[in-house]
Amino acid sequence: MAAYASVPAIIPKPAFYQETGDRLYAATLTLDGDSFFLPQLRALRDEIITAFGETVLSPLSSAEEFAYFEQQTHDETPLWGANFRRDAAPTIALHIHQVDERSWVEQARMHGSELADGVGAVVWGAYLLTISPSGIEMVIPRTAGRNTMVESAAAAFATLMQLLHLGWDGWRFKLPVCTIVDRPALAWRGLMIDSARHFVPVPELKKILSMAWLYKLNRFHWHLTDDQGWRLELVTLPEATGSGSTRPGGDPNRNGYYTQEEVRDIVAFAGDRGITVIPELDLPGHVQAILAGHPEFACTPGPHYVRTEWGISEDVLCMGNPAALNFALKAWDEVCELFPGPYVHIGGDEVPTTRWESCPKCAAKKAELGLTDWIDLHGYFVATIAEHLSKKGKIVFGWDEVLDSSIPNLANVVHWRAWIPEQSTKALSQGRWLVRSPYFPYYLDFVQTDDRSISPGLAYRNPDAASLRRIYEYDPFEEIEPDIPESVSGTETAQCSASGREAYLEGVPEQDAGQGRALENASLDRSGRFLGIQANAWTEYIRDGRRLEYMLFPRLLALAETAWNGRTRSSYEDFLRRLEAGHCGSSRGIFAQRGINFCPLYKD
């Protein structure tokens, strides 16, 4: 047997797959494992019930019922179970447990996996899955951090869930007798959803997060504020949603906000599936929703309103008004209580200096700070917010505009402006962590086909469609210089060092420290500071959940495979074969089973 022999239609493709050619049939499943994995087991149970019904986890299955009735009579006429005999569809037991890293490597090596050449980076996010007549076994390497093990378990469960979908015939599962040894290439496999421009209700968010888990994404970047809406309840600042959660225009999908109870529910739902939620408050630009209720935070008297159209507003927070900065700090204090994960995103993109240049208060602040350029007021704001959050133990990210000022700051970088490619190497050379999210082709609100008459979406700064093929064949490792020095020096870098490796590890909450060290080792790419990639779904022209699904799927799967397999991913033709064989090529595919409204125009 060789790895990849008869690989099922799993996406992302497992790093190592072997099967015997035999098949198991099961009508019911039992779930068991180390108590550590109880939240993930409960999440898997919920996913199985949603997809296949409660009876597949019932102690008395339909197969057992028919086996019982086989021995009964009705009006002296025998009742036969026919194909529903117990021996035709037994119960199969799942067990998940943890072992130390070396034991895991030995087990993986025993199965012939080339991944098992050592420890450290090899085991971060890894899992071993075997399906045999004796049951389903999942082995997770025990690492220093809780999150690394949770993500490993979530990935193992996602693979199994795909196999269950692929083998489901409506009453039982047909599973391959196989061994899978798998691990991610990139530590950050993300999806951003913009809930600010069009409000995305909690049930739809959960549906998409469930799909993100199924395809092994592990970061949910939640864009909660913008010119077009403030969507997060703040108990200490009720006016944020009081004025900022409703857009004029009569479209009900533009209105609403998340209560703190709903936020906690989403955070827990995602966390049980190995997904860390990263909240974003986009400041100091994109703030018209706040200015509608706090016109005093602006440089001009207004009137200010929640923006009804797409674009970049010149109205930003006044840097000469201490109350505006205090609002931001207070808002972030409350956000940090709601989101226990290690990461936050402070926005910082598209901040025109027009209003500042004509504002006496901002001019006075610029003089007070001894700043040369107006953009340095932006740098001052970013540095202040990032330092405040870092002291709270948060790892701070911002859009790549956080690099534009000469004022040092502690923010790491999500690089979206692909027309400025040097931003990635600039971030790495300064010792910052980097996530690449180029507007093309990773913005999934962009049009999917070259024929605009049959495909909705934007075409911004690039006339081409962000097609499935373009996303799959895009190489996020390009233009990242391979020789970033292990220790960097210089005044700017030294002052940014808290966003580098050592401070990253020091800043991670204790329970997640192992995750930080795992990221330290996750250098399967050309620089250990390149964490991964992320797709973004901006919703100005995505009005509801059905359209959101249409824009995300199947394109999100192309990014998911790149993030999981890296440069070792297979050909686009092989990916397309698996996609059509198991996910969106028939009425029995995974998308159909899960009720996903996907775009059928994905072929070139």
149 domain residue, yes or no: yes
pTM of the model: 0.91
Q: Indicate the residue among 162, 182, 202 that finishes a domain.
A: 182
Same domain, 164 and 217: no
Q: Annotated catalytic residue: which of 65, 204, 262, 350?
A: 350
Report pLDDT for 122. 65
2 domain residue, yes or no: no
598 domain residue, yes or no: no
Same domain, 86 and 114: yes
- What gap in Å lies between CA 18 and CA 167, rounded to an integer? 17
302: left (phi over 0), alpha (psi -120 to 50) or beta: left
Report pLDDT for 557. 99
195 domain residue, yes or no: yes
Same domain, 169 and 198: no
584 domain residue, yes or no: no
Same domain, 442 and 293: yes
Q: What is the mean pLDDT of each run of 10 residues along the chain (604 residues)?
A: 67 95 91 94 96 82 48 49 51 93 91 64 86 96 88 98 96 94 96 97 98 99 98 95 85 88 98 98 98 96 92 97 98 98 98 98 98 98 98 98 98 97 95 96 94 80 88 92 43 35 38 39 53 97 95 98 95 96 92 96 79
With DSSP H G I counted as helix, E B as strand and the rest as coil, what are the percentages for the chain, rounded to 5? Answer: 40, 20, 40
Same domain, 226 and 129: no
Report pLDDT for 330. 98
- What gap in Å lies between CA 163 and CA 160, rounded to an integer? 5
Same domain, 142 and 260: no
Helix (H, G, I), strand (E, B) or coil at 551: helix
Where helices occur in 392-438 by DSSP H, the ranges are: 422-429
Same domain, 225 and 152: no
Q: Report the domain count for the chain.
A: 2
Same domain, 224 and 101: no
Same domain, 111 and 205: no
- What gap in Å lies between CA 503 and CA 521, rounded to an integer? 15
- Residue 582 and residue 428 in contact, taking contact as beta carbons nearer than 8 Å: no
4 domain residue, yes or no: no
Sheet holding 173-182, edge to edge: 16-26, 173-182, 127-132, 135-142, 91-100, 28-33
Report pLDDT for 77. 54
35 domain residue, yes or no: yes
Please provide residue 130's backbone torsions phi and psi, each rounded to the nearest 5 degrees: -125, 140
Q: Indicate the residue among 147, 182, 217 that finishes a domain.
A: 182
DSSP designation for 394: P
Same domain, 227 and 266: yes
Containing domain of residue 127, as a range?
A: 16-74+81-182
- Residue 182 and residue 15 in contact, taking contact as beta carbons nearer than 8 Å: yes
- What gap in Å lies between CA 267 and CA 278, rounded to an integer? 9
61 domain residue, yes or no: yes
Same domain, 102 and 235: no
Report pLDDT for 528. 65
Same domain, 164 and 200: no
Report pLDDT for 98. 96
Task: Residue 338: give its domain's CATH number.
Answer: 3.20.20.80
Active site residue 314: no
Task: Residue 140: give its domain's CATH number.
Answer: 3.30.379.10
- Residue 176 and residue 163 in contact, taking contact as beta carbons nearer than 8 Å: yes
227: which residues sit within 8 A by CB, 6+ positions away?
196, 286, 287, 288, 289, 306, 307, 313
Report pLDDT for 601. 82
